[in-house]
Amino acid sequence: MDDQTRMMSGLAGLGGLSQADVGDPDGVRKSLGQPQQDIGDILQQIMAITDESLDEAQARKHALNCHRMKPALFSVLCEIKEKTVLSIRGVQEEDPPDPQIMRLDNMLLAEGVSGPEKGGGSAAAAAAAAAAGGSPNDGSIEHSDYRAKLAQIRQIYHSELEKYEQACSEFTNHVMNLLREQSRTRPISPKEIERMVAIIHRKFSSIQMQLKQSTCEAVMILRSRFLDARRKRRNFNKQATEVLNEYFYSHLSNPYPSEEAKEELAKKCAITVSQVSNWFGNKRIRYKKNIGKFQEEANLYAVKTAVDAASVSAQASQANSPGRVQCGVLGSRLVCQAANTLFKLCVLCLPCCCFVYLPNG
DNA sequence: CTCAATGATTGCAA
DNA sequence: TTGCAATCATTGAG
């Protein structure tokens, strides 16, 4: 039996679908005349296929596929299916944006993991670096360290995301092709395919959420480690300490630098304004607690200040007696022996000044 | 290892 | 907000 004969014989067995119908376009009218019965019969035949031998079933299937009423039948079946699915599942709510995903997205964007390369990342790192403080060198080391680690996380995140997206689209395509293929042999509406695609996307987005979550965790761990480094202080370098001490001892009567002065000092010392504030806070309290202990230091810086003042004054007026300078505290005329190199402590304004007050000098 | 020095943090008051 | 006071935690000299 060749295929053609087999098909014909198969179709001949279907009630309402005579051989004449198959070949005759006018048969549509005849079929429509008793659609209910026809469809019922067809359905019965379809059900019966499962009980038949494979060869016979194949033949019937093929015959059905080729039947000109097939699209109409499938469309009716799809409609029925659609209604059944809707009644079972209820109306599929449109996916509202998941608040957790949104939160994760926002965080990743703020941390500079997602979004533009040079945007939030460096900003977040800069903010963290500023919070971490420390000397500029260490700050920049930690800063770059933080940035490098963040970039690493970013890279992993993007490569994983790409992988997921690729897998998702591949799988979606595969399923869509499969369903399209199957739609030739079983009733599958485009809506059903859409729904399936949506299901796949939901599954993949849940995987994506896990990725985002673990990325967020990694960033938080990195950040907390980075911020913990705040307590790992570094001593300021010698020059910075000198600048701060000079200011402190030359303003001993009112060691409260203004905001502008703090900024200036911060710039000079290459530290942050808050570090300057911390330093002055510590210095004031420690000086007050033990003035005696700081006496020597005070003298030292007073000398320094005076030397600087003297050198400036000497440069400004070389015509005047070169050895004379003015006491910064008392305003007295002082003699600087050996051109600013040899000083004796001033007994009148100790510890703020270190010149011998020589009224007759 | 000990301990003083020192930068940072915290809690409180003005 | 700022400064004070107490305290923590680390550094670095001995």
| 3-state secondary structure string across A94-117 | CCCCCHHHHHHHHHHHHHCCCCCC
Strand C contact with A235 (CB < 7 A)? yes
Q: What protein residues sit with their CB closer than 7 Å to strand B?
A: A 133-134, 230-231, 233-236, 241, 275, 278-279, 281-282, 286, 293
Would you say the C-beta of A83 is within 7 Å of strand C? no
Helix (H) or strand (E) holding A334: strand A333-335
Q: Which residue is nearest to nucleotide C9 (CA to C1')?
A: A231
Convert the pLDDT of each residue in A56-89 to its tens digit. Answer: 777 877 777 787 877 787 788 878 877 776 666 6
Which pLDDT value is given to residue A313? 65
Token couple for A211: 């990725």
For residue A135, give the 3-state DSSP assignment. Answer: coil
**From CA A146, how far away is CA A63, in angstroms rounded?**
69
- The alpha carbon of residue A288 and the mean position of all alpha carbons in its chain are separated, in whole angstroms, by 47
pLDDT on residue A222 = 67
pLDDT under 70 in chain A at which residues? 1-35, 85-97, 116-147, 220-232, 312-361
Q: How many CA atoms, within 13 angstroms, populate the side-chain half-sphere of residue A124? A: 27
Instruction: Measure, in angstroms, how far nucleotide B5 C1' is from residue A204 CA.
Output: 58
Is any atom of nucleic acid chain C found less than 7 Å from the CB of residue A260?
A: no
Query: What number of CA atoms fall less than 13 Å from residue A158's CA on the CB side?
Result: 12
Distance A240 CA to C8 C1' (A): 24
pLDDT value for A261: 92
Q: Which residue has its C-alpha nearest to nucleotide B5's C1'?
A: A235
CB atoms within 10 A of CB A235: 8
pLDDT for position A356: 31
Find, among A133, A204, A119, the residue nearest to A166 by Cα. A204
Is this model's pTM higher than 0.95 or not? Answer: no
What is the residue type of A354?
C
Per-residue model confidence (pLDDT) at position A92:
52
